[in-house]
Structure 1
Amino acid sequence: MDHLKTQGISMPKLGLGTFRMQGDACRAAVESALAIGYRHIDTAEMYANEEPIGSAIAAARVPRAELHVTTKVWHENLAPDAIRRAFDASLKKLRLDHVDLYLVHWPSRAANWGAVFETLMKLKEEGRTRAIGVANFTTALLKTAVEDIRAPIACNQVEYHAMLDQSKVLAFLKAKSIPLVAYCPLAQGRFATDPVLAEIGARYNATAAQVALKWLLDQDGVAAIPKASRRESQKANLDALKITLDEADRKKIATLSKDKRCVDPGFAPAWD
């Protein structure tokens, strides 16, 4: 498994997304993923599943140093005291003494970014999170965080897949040597029936989804966190790493329409 080095941490390029996983099913999914080799688990306070994830991590007995755990603070909790309360609650539920990455889950128009990042940086200084970062930030918001505030951002987690153009955000991140972590990397199942990806996959005895995932993971500075609750799906995503796409494949994938955004809540920023 390749890793991305950023702000003093080493993040596996392929992780497990856990949005909408709940209770015992979530615990079983995380236990399964850890058993077959996943070492990067992504969660958030808003997912309401940190407790079962904490139970799964405890049961798996994987050495803590081998694990990368990300969690996030919700956009309604971006005042300094609220961040600390949310962080303490997340850590307790996860049964950990630190997380590897703590992210702002969504930007808020009401946020005082100087105070937000000062609080996050203090959590980092205290050794309770090894790194800090953001999710769903546009280039304008990234500029504020990285250039104005000079926050040590370890990643920007955004929706990114073969049917959504993120070239503007990618260019900014690349110039600053900040990784992009792709959520919804399989476009919530839309790739399964795509004829272009299926045709490429047939040449490698792979599925359309595996081709789409490998296309992402082949990119420098890009990690992906597909949600997969069944062991077969988790294994299929790991097996995508074995595919070798060529230039002709990438050209075909470039012809797919790039305007399919799956996640766009009312509180989302004005996207690039």
Structure 2
Amino acid sequence: MDLPPVGLGTMGIDDPGAVETAVDVGYRHLDTAQIYGNEAVVGEGIAASDTPREELTIATKLWVDSLAAGDVAPAAAASLDRLGLGSVDLLYVHRPRGDYDPERTLPALDGLVDDGLVEGVGLSNFEPDQLERAREVLDAPVAAHQVEFHPYFGNRELLADARDHGYPLVAYSPLIGGEAFDDPVLTEIAAAHDTSPAAVAIAWALAHENVVTIPKASSEEHLRANLAARSLELSSAEIERIDDIDRERELYPE
């Protein structure tokens, strides 16, 4: 799926006005999930904007208790109802656990594509062997794989899989849960570009082939700043410095 470089991650957003503002300032990829409890909020924000629906990529995710074969269609219908939409562009398996069974869950998702309720099937937080099995079972190609990816944590094997199989890796938590603002390497590079450490973290993610990212923001100032980070070009030396940060922190371990 062809996704914009910077989209909006909505976990924790409870104000439809923030979503409306995001769309109005130029966001075209909005990401939510059942477990976030805010699909209705995202739907209200979309409805309040004058931007045509066909210009937007809307993604949501089925939680682990909605992945049994008989639960997929009703759970997806409930998400569409909360979003106030007739279809979504991306429907993810949020995590491959709980009721997830590739031989039963994935054909049910294919059925939603066949019925026109979902344009693309996405996977999230999968390991390489799980991705391979999903490709073997799915009729539809994997539209995207969403994973935690930021200067303190990233899986090179998953990056290679995205490149080799031609789908976008959607990086969530690119700002390291706010820690990007205090990192000395990111801060120093930001000063050299007269920008923010957040912009540097976003630009670092986008410097990787096949990677797009979905930082969360709710104020207009931060929404605009994150979107503007698309145009920040880091040197190879700066990217290497960030790559070499000697710290590993996974914010959302299994």
For residues 174 and 82 of structure 2, the distance between their equivalents in structure 1, rounded to whole angstroms, comes to: 27
CA contact (8 A) 2:5 2:211 kept: yes
Q: In the alignment, does 2:198 pair up with 1:206?
A: no
1:240 matched to 2:232: no
Shift of 1:218: 2.2
Taking structure 1 as reference, are residues 159 and 127 closer, same or farther at Cα in structure 2, changes over 3 Å only?
same
Alignment match, 2:118: 129
> How far apart in 1 are the matches of 2:208 and 2:128?
19
Residue 151 of structure 1 deviates from its aligned partner by 5.0
User: Residues 87-140 of structure 1: CA distance to partner in whole angstroms, max 9, x if unpaired?
Assistant: 001111111111000000111155221111101011011111110111010112
Matched, 1:51 2:40: yes
**Contact kept? 1:165, 1:258, Cα under 8 Å:** no
> Matched residues in 1 for 2:13 and 2:92: separation?
19
Specify the alignment match of 1:220 in structure 2: 209
Name the CA distance, whole Å, in 2 between partners of 1:210 and 1:201. Answer: 8
Pick aligned residue for 2:9 from 1, 14, 17: 17
Q: Structure 2 regions of 5+ residues with no counterpart?
A: none
Shift of 1:160: 0.3
Change (3 A) 1:51 1:112: same
1:47-75 Cα shifts (integer Å, max 9, x gaps): 11111211111110211111000001001
* Secondary structure of the structure 2 residue equivalent to 1:101: strand
Please state if 1:69 is matched with 2:58: yes
- Gap change, CA 1:144 and 1:249, over 3 Å in 2: same
- Percent identity over paired residues: 38
Worse-matched range after superposition: 229-238 or 102-111: 102-111
Instruction: Output the amino acid matched with 1:14.
Output: V
* SS of equivalent residue, structure 2 residue 88: coil
Q: Match for residue 132 of structure 2?
A: 143
Distance 1:59 1:164 in 2: 36
CA apart distance, 1:173: 2.1
Q: Retained in 1: the 8 A contact 2:148–2:154? A: no
CA distance in structure 2 between the partners assigned to 1:171 and 1:245 by the alignment: 21
State how far apart, in whole Å, the 1-side matches of 2:99 and 2:20 are.
38
Q: Is the Cα–Cα contact under 8 Å of residues 145 and 167 in structure 2 kept in the other structure?
A: yes
Query: Which amino acid in the other structure matches residue 249 of structure 2?
Result: K
Q: Structure 1 unaligned runs (5+)? A: 1-5
| Letter of the 2:7 counterpart | G
Please identify runs of 4+ aligned residues in structure 1 that moved more than 6 A: none
Asked if the contact 1:133/1:156 (under 8 Å) is kept, the reply is: yes
> Do the aligned residues in 2 keep the contact of 1:102 with 1:129 (CA within 8 Å)?
yes
State how 1:43-122 maps to structure 2 within 5 Å: 43-108=32-97, 110-122=99-111
Cα distance between partner residues in 2 of 1:168 and 1:93: 35
1:210-262 Cα deviation digits (max 9, x unpaired): 10101111222111001111111111101211212111111211211252101
Change (3 A) 1:119 1:52: same
Cross-structure match for 1:3: none
The size of the alignment, in residue pairs, is 254
**Secondary structure at 1:210's aligned position in 2?**
helix
What is the aligned partner in structure 2 of residue 259 from structure 1?
248
Q: Secondary structure at the match of 2:159?
A: helix
- Report what 1:158 is aligned to: 147
Q: How far is 1:149 from its partner?
A: 4.9
TM-score normalised by length of structure 1: 0.90
- 8 Å CA contact retained: 2:65, 2:99: no
Task: Tell me the TM-score normalized by structure 2.
Answer: 0.96
Farther off after superposition, 107-116 or 194-203: 107-116
